[in-house]
Amino acid sequence: MMRMQRLWLLWTGQPCLCGWRQSRRRCHGLTLIELVVIVAIVMTLTIIGIPAYDKYRENTRIAQAVVDIRTIEHDILIHEGYAGRLPDSLNEVGKESARDSWGNTYRYFNVASGQGNGVRRFDKLTVALNTDFDLYSLGRDGKTNASLSNADSLDDIVRGRNGDYVGVASKY
């Protein structure tokens, strides 16, 4: 008999077993205020999370560009060891179509021959970054300038001091 009463109570909704609001007849769902509070919490977490995620993605792209530049640098130095000279373009080391995380091709400039698809780079004191070759990514904005002090160059990923530094130009 007890089992039948429980089934009847479940079928008719009396008493309420749903855990939210109780009334004599049926269970109520969320109130409008509860729904607004839930939406506010979700929006707050989203507002906090999106910038953090964007920063994470940008740092990942920068790290990938640094790894790519180091890899291309290695290929260039191997070419120099075999050929006795630096390549005049990235085409000679098979990296002419290499693209950075933002979709731009990597730039290369051979200082000795003046050849390549890039330009010679200078730091904020107009001192050349490298004496052998310049290798860099245009960064997020896809723009660059020969001087690292220019606003277009601040987000570039550069190789400096003949390979002792590879990273963001604004930190050089």
- Using CA atoms, how far apart are residues 99 and 96, in angstroms rounded to an integer? 9
What would be the CATH architecture of the domain defined by 32-171? Answer: 2-Layer Sandwich (3.30)
- Model confidence pLDDT, tens digit, residues 36-67: 999 999 999 999 999 999 999 999 999 999 99
Comparison of pLDDT for 26 and 50, the residue scoring more:
50
The whole model's pTM is what? 0.76
Q: Collapsing DSSP states into helix, strand and coil, what is residue 121?
A: coil
Query: What burial class does residue 88 get, using C-beta atoms within 10 Å of its C-beta: 0-12 exposed, 13-18 middle, 19+ buried?
Result: middle
pLDDT band for position 28 (50/70/90)?
low
pLDDT at 22 over 60: no
Give ∠ CA 64-126-131 in degrees, rounded to 5.
Answer: 65
Give pLDDT, residue 6.
57
- Residue of 31, 154, 159 whose CA lies nearest to 106: 159
pLDDT band for position 80 (50/70/90)?
very high
Give pLDDT, residue 30.
73
